[in-house]
Structure 1
Amino acid sequence: MVIRIRGRALPHGEHVDLYADGDRWTTEPVGDAVLVAEGWLLPGLVDAHTHPGVEEFGQRFDDDMLRDHLERHVDAGVTAIRAPGLAGDPPDWFGTDPDTPRAWHAGPWLAQNGQFIDGWGRRVDHADLPSVAAAQAARSGWAKVVADWRAEDEVVPVSVLTATAEAVHAVGGRLAVHSQHAEGGAAAVEAGVDSIEHGTALDPDLLTRIAERGIALTPTLSLAQAGLHRMLQRPEADRNPARVAAARAHPGLVAAAAEAGVRLLAGTDSVPHGRIADEVRALAAAGVRPHDALAAASWDARAYLGLPGLVPGAPADAVVYAEDPRGDLDQLEHPIAVVLRGRPVRVRP
């Protein structure tokens, strides 16, 4: 079956009429094509920071849970994900199964000895980190390093992160770095990594440098705000003042990053899966223009992953809404249709 969608396509808002020729869009009319949906068209949503296949810290990777999580993403209009860290090696169908999103992953987290979550990731000596990260990136395209963990821990030295980034880049890969402290964020920027995950407590003075170096920021803002809410429910004596201050400052930091030209990627890092709309709304509430908040979860995030938008020859993904979601981000909760790999996998009656 050849399917067809038409309407105003974002980001430009111009009218398009597209046909799915297998897993590629074309504007060449097909006489027996089935019109699946008409409305406002996005080239699919992206969750750029999600860890499907587990629901609790330290839990072992579960293939059935993985499929359930990925299907929840599709229900929300997500047709591509990036998993910067997994609890185990994914099955062969990950990223290619016709009913689940396209996927990029970094394999297991790479952390320093004595740091990170018990049962997850690999602990790697500094001398071995560049080669281990490069080997992972050669397999999956990405590697993920935990640059900092607890406030009292030593961060991965700049020299080690720099060597790791260079080794990953030498094999054609990309390096994501977890950072929630100022020192780790500064080291990641100096090292020239490809993306900073979370970025709480980043020095605002580094934002121009981050933009100049083409480093993406995945602020996981909705998760940070939920964490702040939980922290504020505790008695004051049980709160970590530095963490509270960083979480309170995070929305302003994210808005300033957008203003400075930093590429933002929308990522949820949360359970339940399929809540990318929460992250887009959090970005907008922080002061990011709705157009740019949506870009971080759609066309710009797809471009970052190498996926063109709604143009001839592009992968045949789309999510369709009745109204322009930039004017009402709650529209993201109510897609008319989700098209994945040229197939209508979700269509609202």
Structure 2
Amino acid sequence: MTVRVRGYALPHGEYVDLYADGDRWTTDPVRGAELASGWLLPGLVDAHTHPGAEKPGDPLDEQLLRSHLNQHVDAGVTAVRSPGLAGEPPDWFGTDPDLPRAWHAGPWLAQHGQFFDGWGRRADHAALPAIAAAQAARTGWAKIIADWSVGDDPVPVEVLTAVVDAVHAVGGRVAVHTQHALGGVAAVTAGVDSVEHGMCLDPGLLTRMAEQGTALTPTLSAFQSMLPTVHSRPDSPVKEWLLGGASVHGDLVAAASEAGVRVLAGTDSVPHGRVLDEVRALAGAGMRPHDAIGAASWEARAYLGLGGLELGAPADAVVYREDPRLDLDQLAHPVAVILRGRRVR
């Protein structure tokens, strides 16, 4: 059945009246279209999620992958970016009409001796640029683990720079996991496309990130949720590092937004479908509610090359009874979820 959405559309707040013509929005009326009206968002995005595995090291499970993606749709998420998966996804990943659009970077790429056992691919520095470029040529993204635990050496800046050059040469983009200051310096200096987590990132790098278009996906809610557990651990260098970085991570997010860095909402957590937790965390850190919602909607969609509620754009939308900028809890209660021009919830 054809879908029609009508109401005040964010981010601009102007009144729109759109019909889905297949997977594209149009203003041409369609007789008998099912109407959903209210406050409209152009589809939510979880920009950092790893569906298909329950815990680190588990193999990719297709049944679990479908379940996790359904949880995202239930929350109004119409697109996901998976910077790292437990295995190569099935052909229906990102194309199934009932599940979110999807971008992924294949397996994580890490140095020998780092990252979770059973996950990702280890590579020598000399081989890393070619491996990353081959991955990005297939899926559009490569994900590098730039640093890992306390005392580990990060990927050198010259190696990350070579990775960026090789991936960009094939038209791809590079996402980098970093949670240490030196890894953050290397990632930003190399000009990566997105910094994932960014804990312990030097705030002095934020201006450069904004200028070169490096996005930040802070996964703030995941850090906040782990803090009570970290506090209860015995004293150790790892505890000191986690507490020192996670406790001020919200301040970094607020400073990044103020500096003009594109902040993306990503959950990096189980259960899936909890992007609202990240929006709340971003707003609680000091981002304007408008910008916190944008990080999970129009800003993330623009970053992935998706349009909003406009003529010719992909026909995704989430409908709410009230303006979610005035009450973030509205995000937990969508009236309708429209995906690829179909009402799926």
Question: Where does residue 271 of structure 1 map in the other structure?
Answer: 270
> 3-state SS of the aligned residue for 2:248?
helix
Query: Distance in 2 between the 1:168 and 1:282 partners?
Result: 32
Tell me, yes or no, if structure 1 residue 181 matches structure 2 residue 180: yes
1:83-232 equivalences under 5 Å are: 83-232=82-231
Report the CA distance between 1:203 and its aligned residue.
0.4
Question: Where does residue 337 of structure 2 map in the other structure?
Answer: 338
Q: Which runs of 4+ in 1 moved over 2 A?
A: 233-239
Report the CA distance between 1:5 and its aligned residue.
1.0
> 3-state SS of the aligned residue for 1:145?
strand
Query: Distance in 1 between the 2:59 and 2:304 partners?
Result: 27
Query: Distance in 2 between the 1:239 and 1:105 partners?
Result: 30
Question: Where does residue 32 of structure 2 map in the other structure?
Answer: 32
Contact 1:231 1:239 in 2 (8 A): no
Contact 2:2 2:21 in 1 (8 A): yes
> 3-state SS of the aligned residue for 2:344?
strand
Structure 1 residues 125-169: Cα deviation after superposition (integer angstroms, max 9, x where no partner)? 100000000000000000000000011101000000000000000
Alignment gaps of 5+ in structure 2: none
Provide TM-score, normalisation by structure 2.
0.99
Report the CA distance between 1:238 and its aligned residue.
8.8
Alignment gaps of 5+ in structure 1: none
Contact 2:150 2:237 in 1 (8 A): no
Change (3 A) 1:132 1:237: closer
Contact 1:232 1:239 in 2 (8 A): no
> 3-state SS of the aligned residue for 1:240?
helix
Change (3 A) 1:222 1:3: same
Contact 1:281 1:329 in 2 (8 A): yes
| Identity in percent | 72
Contact 2:233 2:239 in 1 (8 A): no
Structure 1 residues 42-85: Cα deviation after superposition (integer angstroms, max 9, x where no partner)? 01000000000001110010000000000000000000000000
Report the CA distance between 1:236 and its aligned residue.
4.9
Change (3 A) 1:239 1:150: closer
Query: Distance in 1 between the 2:137 and 2:233 partners?
Result: 44
Query: Distance in 1 between the 2:238 and 2:232 partners?
Result: 9
Could you say what the CA RMSD is over the residues aligned between the two structures, in angstroms? 1.0
Contact 1:44 1:78 in 2 (8 A): yes
1:82 partner letter: R
**Count of aligned pairs between the two proteins:** 345
Contact 2:79 2:102 in 1 (8 A): yes
Structure 1 residues 98-120: Cα deviation after superposition (integer angstroms, max 9, x where no partner)? 11000000000000011100000
Report the CA distance between 1:233 and its aligned residue.
2.9
Contact 2:112 2:124 in 1 (8 A): yes
Query: Distance in 2 between the 1:337 and 1:291 partners?
Result: 20
Provide TM-score, normalisation by structure 1.
0.97
